[in-house]
Amino acid sequence: MTHPPSKYQPTDDRKRAIAAAARSLIVEKGFEGLRTREIADRVGINIATLHYHIPTKEALIELVAQSMKDDFMAQSMRHPRTGLPPLEQLQIKVDQHRETRRDNPELLLVMEEMGRRARHDESIARYINPMRAFWHQQVADILEAGVADGTFRADLDPWAGAYMVIGVMLASSVFRLDDPEALDRAVSELLRAIVSDRTKEHSNV
């Protein structure tokens, strides 16, 4: 359904609306269903106005990716980790994923869809792969700090361990969205595998 033209909006607000409409379409129809005319209709603007803000397909991908980064950064600012022990930092990362799954599931679905397309589309990989790499590095840094202070096993490979942590979070969302306790159970099993004996003696892990 075509909406009547909206009143003037500042450029940033208009771009946020375009990104939101594009993300919704990606969730509903996949990247193949992303059409500029439907985005314009949902935002309430004409095609010429849309192309003024987003002149190319790559500009649209960049806008969507930036909106996702903004969501992740805003979440990180709500849950600061600086100065906290590694185990608590890791729990915060898990809690952030749980929060996203509960309050902004579209973000995870868009990330999944764009990640799938990134395997075959360099214009998408250019924006999605650095986001994935940043997430992986954050978790690896937490694990490395935990190995150094004795929280995690001395022989734990932080780089490989980060794939395990991220895999648990993603798998709990992909396979058990209907089970709010799936992530807790999976994380408990993961922690039993990576924490040191000393940590187990002094915690509920």
1-55 against 60-201: fold identical: no
Average pLDDT, stretch 46-67? 94
What pLDDT is recorded for position 10?
A: 58
The domain locations on the chain are: 1-55, 60-201
Lowest mean pLDDT among 31-40, 48-57, 195-204: 195-204
The DSSP 8-state label assigned to residue 79 in this structure reads: S
3-state DSSP assignment of residue 152: strand
Alpha-carbon distances, residue 203 vs 82, 135, 137 (angstroms)? 21, 26, 26
Q: Which CATH architecture group holds 60-201?
A: Orthogonal Bundle (1.10)
Query: What gap in Å lies between CA 35 and CA 24, rounded to an integer?
Result: 12
The yes or no reply on domain 1-55 and CATH 1.10.10.60 is: yes
Lowest mean pLDDT among 10-14, 87-91, 193-197: 10-14
What is this structure's pTM? 0.85
Average pLDDT, stretch 149-156? 96
What pLDDT is recorded for position 88?
A: 96
What pLDDT is recorded for position 19?
A: 96
Query: What gap in Å lies between CA 94 and CA 98, rounded to an integer?
Result: 6
